[in-house]
């Protein structure tokens, strides 16, 4: 029992000596800011605008996408140099494609034309509907045969 007490005291003494002999003060690490939270131009902190204020800084296509609920855009604003960065919130991404007419984002929908079976593959009809210009693109995709679980 006495030996354990002595080992404990020596251990605490060594730990205290190391702690107090350190030239660096004990500082907790500061969490890193994301690149969006700091302005590239002036180095000041940016603020994330709320949903009402960020609409002012979106273009027409981005506003339409946000109103449809397909995408959520965020605007990080620097009040010092009045510069903003628009980011697309990935968790709200739906299946989208690129419109051939205006190069905007087009919502993609798929419909099964022929279901896949064990003996033959299936067929899907894919439509890309652009909310920006109204262009509708339609094409077909083919799916592999169904495999049975063993």
Report how far residue 62's alpha carbon sits from residue 60's, in angstroms, rounded to the nearest whole number: 6
Global pTM value:
0.42
Q: Which domains does the chain have, with CATH numbers?
A: 33-93 (no CATH), 96-143 (2.20.25)
Span 41-88, pLDDT tens digits = 888 888 889 888 888 888 888 888 787 766 778 888 988 988 888 887
| The two structure tokens encoding residue 21 | 């002999």
Compute φ and ψ for 73, nearest 5 degrees: -100, 145
**Which band of pLDDT confidence, cut at 50, 70 and 90, is reported for residue 138?**
very high
Report how far residue 67's alpha carbon sits from residue 132's, in angstroms, rounded to the nearest whole number: 12
Give the pLDDT score at 70: 63
């Amino acid at each position: 029992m006495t030996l354990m007490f002595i080992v404990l005291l020596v251990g605490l003494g060594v730990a205290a000596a190391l702690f107090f002999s350190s030239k660096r003060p004990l500082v907790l690490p500061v969490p890193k800011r994301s690149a969006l939270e700091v302005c590239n131009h002036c180095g000041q902190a940016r603020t994330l605008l709320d949903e009402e204020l960020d609409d002012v800084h979106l273009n027409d296509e981005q506003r339409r996408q946000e109103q449809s609920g397909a995408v959520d855009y965020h605007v990080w604003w620097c009040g010092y140099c009045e510069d903003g960065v628009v980011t697309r919130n990935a968790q709200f991404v739906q299946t989208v494609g690129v419109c051939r007419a205006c190069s905007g984002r087009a919502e993609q929908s798929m419909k099964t034309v022929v279901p896949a079976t064990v003996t033959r593959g299936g067929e899907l009809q894919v439509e890309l509907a652009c909310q920006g210009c109204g262009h509708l693109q339609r094409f077909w995709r083919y799916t592999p045969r169904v495999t049975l679980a063993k």
